Every structure is written in structure tokens, then in C-alpha cells.
Structure 1
């Protein structure tokens, strides 16, 4: 039995960690669904110390690429993205554990365990609950700037999210002595991959975000201005 793992949790590693997390149970956040020749689902698990974690559990759920023509669990690609983006100071969930092992019956069994993004919620939920009206336009501009900065750092590192829908943008407001501050995080990195150039990663993701978001024209222009300032160049071919 081959085990490929990466642990960011001091209490569990290797086969012991795999077995431990595989046996955890919680509420389904993403019900198991069949695709890519296997099954994948995500549970929210409350640990005994009251810390919340998310456990993505997969069986036979793989992707193929020139480097992995026979298939590789998608959680390992997501693990690579979490590691890479964290090094670029892109706000993403903290990796606690990942592992994959070959199984005679299922082919692959794989896990990805991440810490909860405490205080964050989907940006559209934040809008729907009146967050913009409550905190005002100055904070909303800061929110757009933080989103733009995270995206620019990701693309400068040649990472492409590849599924950049507005539902994968999360936000929280941190109360500080000098006033509230908005923070943005990116989720669902299962399709994230490296591109040959930063511009290729940038162009694809931003076009996708424009199509799959409800930003007004004015908000989109602000976001694009903040993004291009952080990215260091104009992104051609985008709707403005």
C-alpha cells in the first residue's frame, strides 16, 4: 500500500493520520457525488477541542495530466495549490493534512483536511445580509482592493484558480481599534493549476469571474483598477 501524505497537524501524520481522519464523521457540506470515475464529498467536523475542520474524502476520484497519465487523486492537486498559494500570501484555508493511498478495491482513497475559515462567509451572503450598507463604501472599496490583491499575487505566481466563481470568494470584517477591516479568502482550489505565464493565468480567471459574478459595472471597474495596480500591468481583452 502506497501512501502519499502531507501533514500540517502535529497530532497526526502518515498512516496514523490518514486512518484517524478517514474515520471522522460530521455534517455534510458537500454531499458525496460521483464524477471523475469516483466519489467525493466534504464534511464539517467539530473536534473535541471545539475547533472546526473540513474533511474532503474521496474514493477513485482522479484527474489525468501529461505528468500523471494513469490518474492522480484531485485532492493532491488541491494540496499543491494550497501550499503554493500560502507561500504567495494568498488567503486560503490552512492545510492540516492530505494523503492518498492505493486500495485494491477502490483504486485510490484520498483525504484533504483544512482548518475552518473562522468568521468568513460567502460574499453574496454578506451582501444579502446588508454588510455593504452596514459598513459603508469605504470598507467595500477596501474589500475589493483585498480581493484584487489576493488575485494578483496568485496570478503573479502563475497559479490559475480555474473555477473562479463569486461563490468561491469569502469575506469577513475584522473589528480593529482604528476601525473595521475587510479580508477576503479564496476557496475550492481543486482545479487550480500552474500556467506558463502570469498573464495566461490572469486572463482566464478574470474573464471567468466577470461571467460568474453580479458585480455592477462600477464595482467591476474598481476591482479591475485595484487588480491592475497590484498586478503591475493592464489585462487586455476584458470587459470594462
Structure 2
């Protein structure tokens, strides 16, 4: 079987990134899969009976469907995510099963790791934050919130002429009526977490300036140590 075949992704196995989350007769977990022939690395998120319900799907559908749809939406508006490779879902005797496959973000590091391990210079941190703000502004202008935006969900690659960003974990992404309603909870959560790992007041001000220039209103800036 080849990676292009859907049966390959359903049957392939790998190392669990962390222990699967079991609840109410279902489970959700992510496996890291390295192809022996090419060395390419993929992340395969698997779920069974992890469902959401809506007006359209009153009997439930896999929550991975929402994550896949959110990532497809992000692609359509130019918001960078981990590269999508494959999605599928099927209903069997044990209920709904679904898989979502993304390619490894080689060369990227999370904002959390970059700050905690002090991987970047002050200038690099400023460049990274501007790029992150630009990606999020595109998302929020589309009246879409991420819904779980912490520094560990934001990845940056500093190896090129300009920083490249990828945002992961889109399962809780939702639409909102206005750009401000989409932006405020995401930005508040992200910046509050960054302040705890070393974000400076100047960097905080830089981030807010990017949003001010975009025309999206935010609440007052948090303070160091708040």
C-alpha cells in the first residue's frame, strides 16, 4: 500500500505522541508515523466515537470532521496550518471512526519552546510576532476564532528570509459575528500565556500595534505579571 491510498492511512501504525484520551466509550489520540522508505514524518490523529452534534447532524458526527473543515477554511483564506494530507470517516459496528493526517512541521518550533528555551534574538522574536499577528489577523477578519490558542499551538520557522508560521489544533474553531468577537478571546489567551514565559512589554505593545493597524479592536493590554 502507498500513502496515496486511503487504506494505507487507516491501517498504518506509529508511536503515540501521548496516551490516547478515553471517554464515554470512545477515544482520541495522535500517532507519529515515519515512512521507512522516505523518512517522511506524518501525524495521524485517530478518533472513535468522539462526536459533536448540531442542527445539521443531530445524531452526531466525528469532531475530526470539524477540525478538517476548519483547516480547509483556513487554507481558503490563506491562514497557514500544518499541511493537510488526508481525512476520512466511517461508521461501523463500534460507531464512528475518523482519521486526520498532517505532515510534520520540519524546521518549525512552537512559540512556547522558543520563549522557554530562549532560541531567538530580540529581533527574531519581533519578526516572529509580527508574522504570527498577521496570520491571526487574517483569521479574525474572516470572523473566525481558533478557540484554543496557546503558544504551543503556534509554530514558527525562522530559517528563511522571513518567518513562516503554522497554527495547529483547530478542533474548537468557530465562526463569530464580528472580527473583534473572534479576536479578543484568542489574543487574550495567547498573550497571557506568552507573558508567563518571557514576553516583554515592548513585544506585547508590538503585537497590539499590529492589531490596531488592522482596525480590529482589542481590550486593554495585559500587564507583565498579571
Which TM bucket (shorter chain)? 0.7 to 0.9
In structure 2, the residue matched to 1:144 is: 129
Q: In the alignment, is residue 75 of structure 1 matched against residue 56 of structure 2? A: no
Bigger drift between 114-123 and 148-157 goes to 114-123
In structure 2, the residue matched to 1:187 is: 168
Q: Is the CA contact 1:151–1:227 (under 8 Å) kept in the aligned structure 2?
A: no
Q: In the alignment, is residue 38 of structure 1 matched against residue 26 of structure 2? A: yes
Consecutive unaligned residues in structure 2, runs of 5 or more: none
In structure 1, the residue matched to 2:191 is: 210
> Matched residue pairs, number?
218
Superposition map of 1:159-170 within 5 A: 159-170=144-155
- d(CA) in 1 for partners of 2:34 and 2:3? 18
Match of 1:97 among 86, 99, 108: 86
Q: Is the CA contact 2:84–2:101 (under 8 Å) kept in the aligned structure 1?
A: yes
In structure 2, the residue matched to 1:233 is: 216
Consecutive unaligned residues in structure 1, runs of 5 or more: 1-8
For the structure 1 residues 192 and 233, does the alpha-carbon distance in structure 2 shift closer, same or farther, using more than 3 Å as the test?
closer
Match of 2:103 among 95, 115, 119: 115
When the two structures are superposed, what TM-score results if normalisation uses the length of structure 1? 0.83
When the two structures are superposed, what TM-score results if normalisation uses the length of structure 2? 0.88
Shift of residue 238, structure 1, vs aligned partner: 5.2
- d(CA) in 2 for partners of 1:150 and 1:50? 30
- d(CA) in 2 for partners of 1:126 and 1:151? 19
Q: Is the CA contact 1:124–1:167 (under 8 Å) kept in the aligned structure 2?
A: yes
More strand by share: 1
